[in-house]
Each structure stands twice: as C-alpha cells, then as structure tokens.
Structure 1
C-alpha cells in the first residue's frame, strides 16, 4: 500500500490571528479533513492556547539549520518571508524532499541585493520545486529576482472558513453582537492602530473615523465595528478614542481589542472596508466576497474581482464610495464565491 506523504507546514499559527496564520490554520483544517498527515512548525512559539498541537520555533534561523539534520516530513511547505529561511529549507531538496514556498508578500524586499544575497536567492530558486505567489504583483517581483517562471503559480491565500459558525459566534462579546441587533446597518473593518506607512496610518483607522463621522450624521441607523489586531503606538489609539468620543459616537463606533473570530462579523455586516495605505492580497477582502458582503478597499494594489475601490488616502472619495454602496449595494456577489472556493484545491495539487 502506498504511503501517504506527510507535510511540514512551516510558518505561524494562531494566536495571534493574522493573514498568514489564518491561512495556515485553514489549510491544516483542510488537510485534516482529507486525512493528509502534517506537522505545524509555529514561529509564534508558545503564544496563547492553540487549537491543535504545534512544534514551537521561537528562534527561527537556528531552528531551520537544526531541522536540516533531523528526520523531516516528505513535503516542506514554507510560509516565512525571509530569503534566509527559504534558502535554508530549500537545502532539504538534497535529502530528496519536495520544497514549496508560499510567498505571501515581497513588500519588504529591497530592489538592490548584495552579491551574497543574489547567490542565495538564485540557489533557492534552483533547489526549490515551486513558489506559490499570492498575487500577480508577487509573481512579477519573483520574476525580477530571476526565479524560473515555470516554478511559479499565482494562487490567492484565501481558504474558506471550515470551523463551526455558531461556536465562533459564542466567542464574540455581547456588546459587539448587540451592535448588530441595535443598528440595521453595520460597517466592519480590522487592522492595526498606530502603524505608520509613509507617515500615514497603514490600516486607515483615521479614514474610517472621518468617514463614519460624516455618514453617522446622515444615517442614525448606522454603526461601525473596528477589530484591532495589534497596537503600534498606544498614544495614537488614545487620540482616536478621544476623537470618537468628541463626536458622541462611542456607542456607535466600537474599537474592539479582544481577540475574536472576525469572519462572523463580516458575514453579519452591511459593508466591509479595508482602507490600507499599502497591502498585499488581503484575505479579509476575499472573505467578504465569499460571504456575500460588499467590500470597499483602497486602490493601492490590484484588488480581487468584486471589490469596489476608492482613491488611496482620499477621505472624500472613501466617504462618497461608502455612502453609495450603503444606499445601493451590489447584487451580483454570488458569482465571485465559486472563484474563491477553487484556490485551496489548486494549492493541494501543487503540494501533493
């Protein structure tokens, strides 16, 4: 009988929840359903209670070199962003392992690489079996780094949620759920606070507050829930809280700091917004499309089919676009759902 190959999922696993860690979690849910053996090597270490067993790896570089000399899984699926880690793990090809890297972002890669770095990237491309780029932009950057095109596939990182919706709703505080009961229209967003990009709020909480302040005067049945994923600067969070209170909107604009499942809120929402100043292929946008919730995002990168865009960092255009969608939401989102469902099968075809 042919032995089922095992997979090493090397990256991060929630908590904390983020784009990459949620992708890894949902991929593992799918592998488990299909009875494909896997082990999770978790760069988040001992951070919080995990849904399933993981091998914590707090010192990633040291662990990667040690892993070369250990007994390994048959398929190495790496999610870490640094080329040093990609190169080290690609050396496992010399032991006959299959090496696949999902490249979630190349935002932090400099265009000018030193000679040693260029050699390292070249060898990584030579040894690795495949690179999964989460967007066309990432693919173009890989090609610029001379990764062979035949080894690159573009597959967005979105995987539909496989957990039980009712059990996840129970993890959401009552004060958040009551907002959806009290107000017929609720806008939701998530992201950090106080993370600056070119001097601007990266996740656009300031734009959300400005937009909501205007629309709240027009529509008394409107509320906003912003789930904070992390805080870069506490002083900025305090300023935003004061700004909301100054307009008397503290009961209608919630800043949620508890770590809760976010997709049930997207499903309940009237509108999901992502006004980021820089971005990759945001899983939350694809989640909204999959769940049938209208989504608005900045035009800072190419967005998925079905997402409505506004001019990046243009507060007036953001407000105008939100107003239009709230009054006349799109009715054709179902056509994009099947597109989102195909991605995980495409990924499994490459891995297996």
Structure 2
C-alpha cells in the first residue's frame, strides 16, 4: 500500500458555500486556516455524487482523510471505505450523537464511531457517548474564527440594517439555515416562537437571517405578516456581520451540535440566549425550549452582565495539530 501513496498526505472531503450552513462554513474556514497555518500537503474534494463514486479510487492515494457531512449514510460509507483501502479516517460528527428518530440511523452512527480512527465530537454529551464506543474520540470546537475578507454584506443590506437599528434600543438577531423539523416533528430553529415574541413586543427589534429563503414560503403558507420591527433577510449573506451589528442573539433550537452561530456570538462578546437541549459553552444565557418569552421578560427585568471575552477557542488549531501528528506518524513508518 505504501508505494501507492503519492506526495499529498491529507484529503479533505466536504462542501463549502453555497449553500450557507454550519457545516459548509466550518469547512470553508478550515481550508482558509490550512492555507495559512499548515505546512503539510493536502487536497480538497467537494462532496458530490461524482466524487462519492470515485472515492473508491482516489482514497488509495492518501494515508488519511477527513470527512465532513451530516448524512449518516455517507459517514458510514466513508468509514467502511477507509477500512477496505487502508486509509485512516478522521470524521467530524456535525450534530448531537443519538439525535435521530430512526433507530437504524442511530445504530449506523454508533457503527461510524466504532470504525472511525479519529472521531471528532462537538459537545460534551456527544463525547461521553462516543468514548464508550471509541477511545480515540476527541472534543474539538466547530468554531473557527472567520476571515473577514470572506464575510459579505452588500452595501444596500448594510444600509438597511443600520437604518433598522436606529429605530430600536434593543436589537436581537437569529438565524436558520433552512426550514427543518426534528425527530418529534417540531421546527428545529424555533423561528415561529421568536417571531411571536417580537410581534407582541414592537418596541424591540429582530434581524432574522434566512440565507436559504426557506421561511419566505413558510410565512406565506401560515399567513404570517412580518411586522416592521422584524427585519427578514433572505438570500446569501454573512450572519457573522449581522451578529456584529446586533446587540443580542437567540439560538432557539430543539436540537443542536456545537453551533457556530453561538460561538460567533460569544466571540463578538454579545449576550447570547440558547436553549438547553445540548451542552452549551460558558457565557450563554440558558433557557428551556418554549420558555423564550419568560426568559426575555426576566432579562429585561434584571441586570445581567455581558459575557467575558475570550470564551471561545478556535477549533482549527486542534484540528491542524491532529493533522500534523498523523502526518509525522505516517512519515516515520518503516
């Protein structure tokens, strides 16, 4: 096998925007950090139908690879290929372990964790489950600090946001990468609960980031008229810059992994409201799903300090350290 391996030592497989999403943003930022901070050789392959098929052939060229996907079947496919072809598999589980309603999917994910050489988990709850299946499981934050050259807001959109902010003392923001439901059939991002609060509190402003534009149709189907204190931004744009323009952020999800949006909010030292459905980083204001109104009412009735700075760690540093260790191990093999 060793004489088959060519000079490129690392293969990354995943997707970058578009579409905009937590996984695609993570991969895009990781690639940017590798350009600046990784001296080893690497190749990036887009996760598409063609490359999935040809993986059987090009994985032979690499001693180790890192796969990023939320698709449980693709995760299983790649870890099985790694065993067949003698490549070490690093896999980031983008989501909470055991989150599926399907027993089969959860069993497949457990098998992935058992077979993968280096599983990367995004929160403490998932790590605890993973370590029972694979002692090499590690916890690495999904947050990677952004390259501001890649964070885009059009001048028109930025002007709309600045004009909107002038009308409200308190400006919140939230986002949803798509309209999706959890295993119980509940809306994952909890946008309608958030919308209801701001409809009832017209003195406070909300910027809703909807890059897939999925909620445009949902609002129409549910006959919801968006009030003037909610700025609905559809289409591709940087949520990081939206956060930067806001005073507070809300993560009202019913399931999660290690939300990049939450880490970005803390990175910008914003007061961050999150549901307690997974383990969250220090510095957030936790509440139970369905209790958003009570939580915000409590906040405005009490003095709550802003989170401390330097609460988030750039996960790319740990990932690159892992790559370097594997690369050194590969070069020292007899």
TM range (shorter): 0.7 to 0.9
Partner of 2:332: none
Q: 2:321 maps to what in 1?
A: 349
Task: Give the stretch that moved more between structures: 90-99 or 10-19.
Answer: 90-99
- Report how far residue 345 of structure 1 moved: 1.1
Report 1:252-291 matches (<5 A). Answer: 252-291=229-268
The partner residue of 2:199 within 206, 213, 230 is: 213
Secondary structure of 1:259 counterpart: coil
Change over 3 Å in CA distance of 1:226–1:123 after alignment to 2 = closer
Which residue matches 1:202? 188
Cα distance change of structure 1 residues 270 and 238 upon mapping to structure 2, 3 Å threshold: same
* Secondary structure class of the residue paired with 2:256: coil
Return the offset for 1:309: 1.2
Aligned partner of residue 100 in structure 1, secondary structure = strand
1:331 aligns with 2:331: no
The alpha-carbon deviation at position 142 of structure 1 amounts to 2.7
- Please point out which of 47, 55, 66 is paired with 1:67: 55
Structure-2 residue corresponding to 1:305: 282
Is 1:10 the counterpart of 2:13 in the alignment?
A: yes
Please, which of 3, 24, 27 is the counterpart of residue 27 of structure 2? 24
Q: Unmatched 5+ residue regions in structure 2?
A: 1-5, 325-334
Alignment partner, residue 228 of structure 1: 210
1:129–1:175 distance in 2 versus 1, CA, 3 Å: same
Q: 1:27 to 1:81 in 2, by over 3 A?
A: same
Q: Is the 8 A contact 2:8 2:43 kept in 1?
A: no
Aligned to 1:129: 117
The two structures have a TM-score, normalised by structure 1, of 0.77
Which residue is equivalent to 1:76?
65
**1:314 corresponds to 2:287:** no
Q: 1:135 and 1:288 mapped to 2: Cα distance?
A: 17
CA spacing shift, 1:270–1:139, aligned 2, 3 Å: same
Cα distance in structure 2, aligned partners of 1:254 and 1:206: 14
Between the aligned partners of 2:178 and 2:112, the Cα distance in structure 1 is: 38
Relative contact order, higher structure (CA 8 A, sep 6+): 2
**Which structure 1 segments of 5+ residues have no match?**
44-56
Q: Distance in 2 between matches of 1:351 and 1:94?
A: 21
CA distance in 1, matches of 2:142, 2:303: 30
Kindly indicate whether the alpha-carbon contact (under 8 Å) linking 2:266 and 2:307 is maintained by their aligned counterparts in 1: no
2:213–2:234 contact (8 Å) kept in structure 1: no
Q: Which residue of 2 aligns with 1:97?
A: 87
Is the CA contact (8 Å cut-off) linking 2:270 and 2:307 kept in structure 1? no
| Aligned-partner SS, 2:172 | strand
Runs of 4+ in 1 over 6 A off after TM superposition: none
Q: Is the Cα–Cα contact under 8 Å of residues 189 and 253 in structure 2 kept in the other structure?
A: yes
Query: Cα–Cα, structure 1 residues 103 and 23, in superposed 2: closer, same or farther, change >3 Å?
Result: same
Cα distance in 1, alignment partners of residues 23 and 306 from structure 2: 30
- Tell me the secondary structure at the aligned position of residue 75 of structure 2: helix
CA RMSD of aligned residues (A): 3.1
| 8 Å CA contact retained: 2:20, 2:177 | no
TM, length-normalised to structure 2: 0.80
Match of 1:348, SS state, is: helix
- The alignment of Structure 1 onto Structure 2 pairs a total of residues equal to 312
Cα deviation per residue 1:132-153 (whole Å; 9 max; x = unaligned)? 111122223434xx5322x100
